[in-house]
Amino acid sequence: PNGTSSSSTGPGASAIASLKDLLTMMIQSGIVRSSHPAIAPMYFENLVRFGGYFEAEREAVAPVLMSFLGATGIHHPYNSVRPRIWYFLHRFVKQLPNSALAVYSSDFVSAVVGLLKISVDPAAIATPADAGSGYGLFDSQLFLFEACGMMLAPANLDDSTRMALLQHLFDPLFSGAQNLMNSKSADQLLQDPRALLQIHHYLTAIGSIVKGFPDVRVEKTASASAPDHLTASTVQVFLKAADMCVAILEALRNSQVVREAARFTLSRMLSVLGAEALPYLPRLIDSLASSCAVEELLDLLGLLGLAVFKFKPYVAPTASELLLPVISKVYGFLDQVAQNGAAGTDEAVLLQDLRKAYLTWIAAIFNSDLDSVFLAPQNAQHIVTIFQPIATQLAADQSSPQSQRLAFGVISKAVQAWLVDPMGWHTLATLTPSALAALSSSSAASGDAS
């Protein structure tokens, strides 16, 4: 089993003690200083696999971390070994208690920053990453960027130190992306695959640093102010990054790799900043929905479902604004296939996934008590357009029992939300969107009064 912090009594106690002794001997032996390419990966893998050792032996954290940051760690002389150790360093930092990291933050960033220079792998230009080839060395660098974020996240780290280190990490990414955006017009950049990949890498690296910070906790009774787990200066740095990310996305929305990077980075901003990041959602959705493929729309619906569930105290105005553009995009894809047929098995599977993701998102709106967004002035007149395909097409699609169940679930939630008429004012034949809106307002007022 992973770790060594199990009970110190019982049949396994002697085995655990022996394992601790072996790990201690391994650390104290200095064997990691060997430059042989087989030694360091095995050494660091053992430390990560038995991470529970450091819960009992906190004094071992410093020498191990220094060995990670040394000449046979992340700076190993063998190119083939270094990326593997970067991954182990990420796992090692992730296992340590947050409060134990602050004392090492400055040394950590200073040792790692030289490895964070971003360049585009020529193979990634020739072969798109969505073909399964990835982005070469950059994929491994992301472990270092996220580890740096984790090292800067502890609340007990001095804020001036955190800001200096954040600027040290962010400034090359900001300036690199801005210099590229200023060097050519948007149309010229869209014709330059290397520049687009470079911008993708800058944005994704920013998102990976943010990913190292803990997610915000949102309570129904909490205010929509800045997240209390971040200092005001940290929030401002992240908001500056979000501004740049959205501006680049709006200019280069026709690039799939830029859309991918912006979606990743802004979803991390949303998780870490909470309500502070909600104003960026409409601009994100507008840029993504105008050009995205089915696969991207699936991810987008997942992001919207997360936003609705996690930020339901504050997300209603944003959800109302985004409802029709997203639904129009979904029905656009479904109508296109209904007319022309699926191009193959893969597309048919993707569209089934799209139906399920769409219905799951609609159900999430009801489950979060945000069904009033359908009755907002700009949406109420489109209720029939929204729900008729669910009732007449998706609920009747016998080729996908799971989609059918989800469709009937949405219909059931709509009936429970809107057709329960405690005042006896309407029948099914007389209900109109305006009547539904009035009934919803009356029900809400009755609930508040009670």
Q: Residue type for 414, please?
A: A
As a whole number of angstroms, the distance between CA 80 and CA 73 comes to 12
pLDDT at 393: 87
Q: CA quadruple 322, 327, 333, 336: dihedral positive or negative?
A: negative
Sign of CA dihedral 390, 396, 399, 405: positive
* Residuewise pLDDT in 10s, the chain (450 residues): 455 544 445 556 788 888 899 999 999 999 999 989 999 999 999 999 998 888 888 899 999 999 999 999 999 999 999 999 999 999 999 999 888 899 999 999 999 999 999 999 888 777 665 555 678 899 999 999 999 999 999 999 999 999 999 999 999 999 999 999 999 999 999 999 999 999 999 999 999 999 999 998 766 544 444 566 789 999 999 999 999 999 999 999 999 999 999 999 999 999 999 889 989 999 998 898 888 888 889 999 999 988 888 887 688 888 899 999 999 999 888 887 666 666 677 777 888 899 999 999 999 999 988 888 998 889 989 998 999 999 988 888 888 889 899 999 999 998 888 876 555 555 555 556 666 566 555 555 554 544
Among candidate residues 111, 241, 234, 219, the one with its CA nearest the CA of residue 175: 241
**List of long-range contacts for 324-327, beta carbons under 8 Å, 24+ apart:** 324/378, 324/379, 324/382, 325/285, 325/286, 325/289, 326/285, 326/289, 326/300, 326/301, 326/361, 327/358, 327/386
Predicted TM-score (pTM) of this structure = 0.85
Task: List, in order, residues 6 or more apart from 220 with CB less than 8 Å away.
Answer: 312, 313
The answer to whether the beta carbons of residues 3 and 51 sit under 8 Å apart is yes
| Greatest Cα-to-Cα distance within the chain, rounded to the nearest angstrom | 83
Question: Closest Cα partner for 150 from 104, 85, 183, 119?
Answer: 104
Task: Give the span between the Cα atoms of 252 and 245, in whole angstroms.
Answer: 11
Tokens representing 381 are 């007149």
Residue pair 313/367 in contact (Cβ under 8 Å)? The answer is: no
pLDDT score of 340? 64
Closest by CA position to 85, among listed 61, 207, 77, 24: 77
